[in-house]
Amino acid sequence: MFRRVAIIGGGAAAATLLGELLERQPPQPLHLDWYTGGTGTPARGVAYGTTSDRHLLNVRAASMSMFAGKPRGFLDFVQHDDPAIAGTDFLPRRRYGDYLEAEVARALQQGNAHGHDVNIIPFTVDALVPERDGVTLIHGEESHRADAAVLALGALPPRPLSGVGPAALASGRYVVDPWQLLAGAASIKPPPRKVVLIGLGLTAVDVLLELAVQWPQTEFIAVSRHGLLPEAHLHKAAAPTDDSAELIASMQDAPEIHRWLHLLREACAQETDWRPVIDSLRPHTSSLWRELPLEQRARFLRHARWAWERARHRMPPQASESIAALEQSGRLQRQCGRVQSVELVDDALQLSLTHAGETRALHADMVIQTVGLNTDVRRTHHLLVQQLLTNAHITADPLGLGVQADTTGRLRHDGASWPHLFAIGTLLRGTLWESTAMPEIRQQARNLADQLLSD
């Protein structure tokens, strides 16, 4: 077993792994160094750091336990304060942040009772040197040795799209990180009259729901390749009629995207609603992803990813209804197009959009980038990731989906896996595909804890 483990990252994935390790009673006490990064509250991260009740979980309360071995964890936590809450409810993300904090506090208390030593370090790791017998971590002028290290970094910091001009960025009117904007939106006086969002996924939904209230006179235009919002969950949960074993077997027999789409359409056509079919694939998505050759994965990302994301990552019905009301009132328009450039022209931003072979211009007082998670380690300013990549300690996923790793989470370099360096969460998208939501992360944390503490 690894007695001294470093966990790098201050979000939910890191907190879940910490909790799993402290739940155990290994034969020898553990020493855990948790590098939380020094920003925000440990455990909440970006995802659960919001204080707005308009930002809801996209998964029902009954499915959001932090631990795979305690399926009612989150539901029990919220029902302690409000017994009327149902497992099918979509609750504010801030409540999940409260739950994460409470679970970390409980785990630390339990770990202390079991003799474990936990050192919470509110700094980032500047560099990391993996070796065959351990890992050296460096922050500032200090260095520490660990038997094993786990990267739990979440999504990488967002970067501006390639066509955004330097003057547009310098103006402050082009917003790369929407969460920083939302935190201070109430202080922007006067609010912009016309705002364009680039991207129409769940991040765009959160931004629209918040800013529509904060800036009641603002009009919004949301631009994406197909101009479509995420699908909505049903008000009532619907279980799959079967385990989709026949569908999954057929997909495994023919690992080719065109064939898979055909099979999915056939399966959905046989049901009264398509959602249970998509949900039935969730436990098998990672194994199906591994069946796909690299060229088929690339084809999926080019042609089918947008459709999968809007069907798989759905918004709560309350959010869908609020967005529909914005459209009906005329405050929100959706447009199809690819953004070729964003330039500062006089006192406004000008976007150049292409769609169906035509180019048109769009003007806005502010542009907000809401394109989703950044996972491309080849194009990031994250200092630790840059150092690891520059020194060839890690290998980038060729499709920009994080880092190369084996199915146990061990990071790869030069065709081999490091015995002491692991990752959990978003950086494993290239290996597991589904690797960003809590149901997947908690299972990763459980499996990784088993590895770290095994003989």
State residue 39's pLDDT score.
67
d(CA 275, CA 277): 5
d(CA 28, CA 42): 26
* Mean local confidence (pLDDT), 403-407: 95
Is residue 85 very low, low, confident or very high in pLDDT (cuts 50, 70, 90)?
Answer: very high
d(CA 362, CA 353): 7
| Other beta carbons within 10 Å of 230 | 21
> Cβ(268)–Cβ(247) under 8 Å?
no
Average pLDDT, the chain: 94
Above 70 in pLDDT, residue 73? yes
> Cβ(252)–Cβ(210) under 8 Å?
no
E strand segments, 295-403: 332-336, 338-345, 348-355, 358-364, 366-369
DSSP string, 146-186: ESEEEE---SBPP---TTB-HHHHHTT-EES-HHHHHHTGG
pLDDT digits (tens, 9 = 90+) for 267-297: 999 988 999 999 999 999 999 999 999 999 9
Residue 202 one-letter amino acid: L
Say what the pTM is.
0.94
The residues facing 336 across adjacent strands are 224
CA distances from 78 to 43, 130, 141, 222, 386 (A): 17, 41, 43, 34, 40
Angle at 439 between CA 435 and CA 444, to 5 degrees: 55
Domains in the chain, start-ordered, CATH in brackets?
4-157+374-452 (3.50.50.60), 166-232+314-369 (3.50.50.60), 245-312 (no CATH)
State residue 46's pLDDT score.
86
pLDDT digits (tens, 9 = 90+) for 192-235: 999 999 999 999 999 999 999 999 999 999 999 999 999 999 99
pLDDT digits (tens, 9 = 90+) for 138-149: 999 999 999 999
Lowest mean pLDDT among 27-41, 84-98, 314-328, 425-439: 27-41
State residue 242's pLDDT score.
74
State residue 238's pLDDT score.
76
Is residue 26 very low, low, confident or very high in pLDDT (cuts 50, 70, 90)?
Answer: confident
State residue 455's pLDDT score.
63
pLDDT digits (tens, 9 = 90+) for 239-253: 767 778 999 999 999
CA distances from 412 to 148, 409, 449, 453 (A): 14, 9, 19, 21
Q: Which residues contact 33 (CB under 8 A, 6 or more apart)?
A: 4, 5, 6, 7, 119, 121, 137, 144, 146
**Secondary structure (3-state) at 275:** helix
pLDDT digits (tens, 9 = 90+) for 130-184: 988 899 999 999 999 999 999 999 999 999 999 999 999 999 999 999 999 999 9
Return the closest-CA partner of residue 452 out of 177, 150, 227.
150
